[in-house]
Amino acid sequence: MQYDEVVIGSGAGSVIASRLSADPARQVLLIEAGPGYLGASQPEDLRDPWVSLVDHDWGYSADYRDGRVQPYPRGKTLGGSTAVNAAVAMRGSPADFADWVRRGNDQWSYEAVLPYYRRLETEAGADPAVHGNSGPLWIERAAADRWSDQGRAFVRAFGDLGFAALDDLNAGSSSGAGPVSHNVRDGVRQSTAIAYLDAPRSRPNLTIWDRCTANRVLFSGDRAVGVEYIRDGVAGAVTAGRVTVACGAIESPPLLMRSGIGPEDTLRRLRIEPVAVSPEVGQNLADHAAVFLTAVGAPTGREDPAEYFEFYMRDGSYYIALLTLFSQRALGVFFGDPNAAPIVAVAPGVGRPRSRGSVEVVSRDPVPPQVKLNFLTDPADVATLLTGTRLSWDVLHNKHFEPFVKQALPPLPEIIDDDAALTSWMRATCGTGFHPVGTCRMGPDSDAAAVADQHGRVRGVRGLRVADASVMPGLVSAPVNLTVLMLAERIAEWMAAENE
């Protein structure tokens, strides 16, 4: 059968497939490499709004820097990483999108994207001028009278340091501290599989193939005409009027390169016939580098919070997250020992990093790529994280927050005032937000190196788009979950309006 639209990947791809299949005349195929749970058939680890680090994972690793290789989980199931992440629903700030505009992406200002943030969500009781009330994604945010004791202390500590207290981090401020919103409803994670596919899956013009791995996009000349895949161990091909790649910032570049779109030397090395030479496919990888200032906690009040990632502060180039690992459940997930001492962590990170990594394809076959994050290789990122780390130290020792801290763990007390020692510690221990973006970055027509234009259309070919985190020109100062869905909403609208 020929499909009008073939969408590869079901994180952001679920948004694209749902929106395009709303037109009953349009035949849409959604391809997902992992299992295709829907509704009540989802296993508990996917319904639970906690990070799922083991099951439904691609099993990738990443070189953080200098050969320090660590696991790099990405979701492999219907809903992609929205089905396994921390269910954090935070928007990018106006300053983040001003940075996109400075890079030449004038169609992605904060004013331009706000209607699409609103379109995707339902947040009951929120300001309708800022939030949506009829979108597919249910979002919850704790009112001030429901803040945990430690969260309230976190906000008050930042108040002492001159930062605003915000009831709503998604209301358009670029600076301040407040509660984190989550895409959770009645304790159940609202992945894109639930939010965007539960109702539309009954549409006769929407087909979902799970456990199906896309090998490459097929071309006739410079036009995408289909997808070669492996399903149940059997190779096949499907024809398409248009193909959308939405596999995420780690998997979309290898798929493009296996299809003949990428750096010429890489394609020649792998004996792949070039369709379009695009040197920056797989380059420009950005992720949030963060460190963790940990202390033995002194839980009081609500000792077993439903959310371990409750409060957040951002200001310009850095952010600081509060992680409260007080419950046996939290300690078991993150430390492997449910009986460990309670931990409180204040985690500063680089909000809009300048350091760049890469995703390198190693085979003509769909095997894991080499991921290099190159954290803290740009001196500006080091300076930003030094600032954030010392500010976090001040919060840990603020009069409001001290009741929740028994003892700061080494080596921070000994090195906090030593630039060289603190920098070495940051480089040796920095972790990631697991928020990769930028590996198929978009740009204006004047930017010949950009992989895609501002509508996600891949340069040098026809009938092919990328619609996921890989086209983001830079990071936002928040987890990217909501921004990727916003981006997919906007690209889907453009696609629906096109005649091609």
- Per-residue confidence band for 301, with pLDDT thresholds at 50, 70 and 90: very low
Q: Mean pLDDT over residues 381-410, rounded?
A: 94
In angstroms, the CA 32 to CA 193 distance is: 11
pTM assigned to the model? 0.96
Kindly give the interhelix angle for 94-102 and 110-120, rounded to the nearest 10 degrees: 130
In CATH terms, 1-64+75-138+190-286+437-500 corresponds, of 3.30.2310.20, 3.30.2020.30, 3.50.50.60, 1.10.10.10, to 3.50.50.60
More confident position, 39 or 433: 433
Q: Mean pLDDT over residues 71-76, rounded?
A: 95
Identified catalytic residue from 56, 131, 288, 435: 435
Count the Cβ atoms, other than its own, within 10 Å of residue 379: 11
Question: 453 pLDDT exceeds 50?
Answer: yes
In angstroms, the CA 177 to CA 321 distance is: 9
Beta bridge partners of 286: 437
Q: pLDDT tens across 275-286, in order? A: 999 999 999 999
Numbered ranges of CATH 3.30.410.40 in the chain: 142-179+289-350+376-429
In CATH terms, 142-179+289-350+376-429 corresponds, of 3.40.50.720, 2.60.130.10, 3.30.410.40, 3.30.360.10, to 3.30.410.40
- The mean predicted confidence, pLDDT, of the chain is 93
Question: 416 pLDDT exceeds 80?
Answer: yes
Q: Mean pLDDT over residues 299-320, rounded?
A: 75
- Percentage of the chain beyond pLDDT 70 is 95
- Per-residue confidence band for 331, with pLDDT thresholds at 50, 70 and 90: low
Closest residue by Cα to residue 158 from 401, 347, 343, 476: 401
CA distances from 193 to 204, 421, 483, 495 (A): 17, 45, 17, 21
- Per-residue confidence band for 471, with pLDDT thresholds at 50, 70 and 90: very high
- Percentage of the chain beyond pLDDT 90 is 84
What are all long-range contacts of 263-267, with beta carbons under 8 Å and residues at least 24 apart?
266/360, 266/361
The helix/strand/coil state of 306 is: coil
Q: Mean pLDDT over residues 318-337, rounded?
A: 75
Q: Residue 131 corresponds to which amino acid?
A: H
Residue ranges in 131-191 assigned as alpha helix (H): 149-160
Question: 51 pLDDT exceeds 90?
Answer: no
Task: Give me the pLDDT at residue 45, please.
Answer: 84
Task: Give me the pLDDT at residue 333, please.
Answer: 63
In angstroms, the CA 110 to CA 282 distance is: 27
- Per-residue confidence band for 300, with pLDDT thresholds at 50, 70 and 90: low
Task: Give me the pLDDT at residue 472, please.
Answer: 98
- Per-residue confidence band for 297, with pLDDT thresholds at 50, 70 and 90: confident
Task: Give me the pLDDT at residue 328, please.
Answer: 65
- Identify the DSSP state of 106: G
Reply yes or no on whether 397 is catalytic. no
Closest residue by Cα to residue 81 from 20, 17, 33: 33
Q: Which of 324-328, 420-424, 475-479 has the lowest mean pLDDT?
A: 324-328
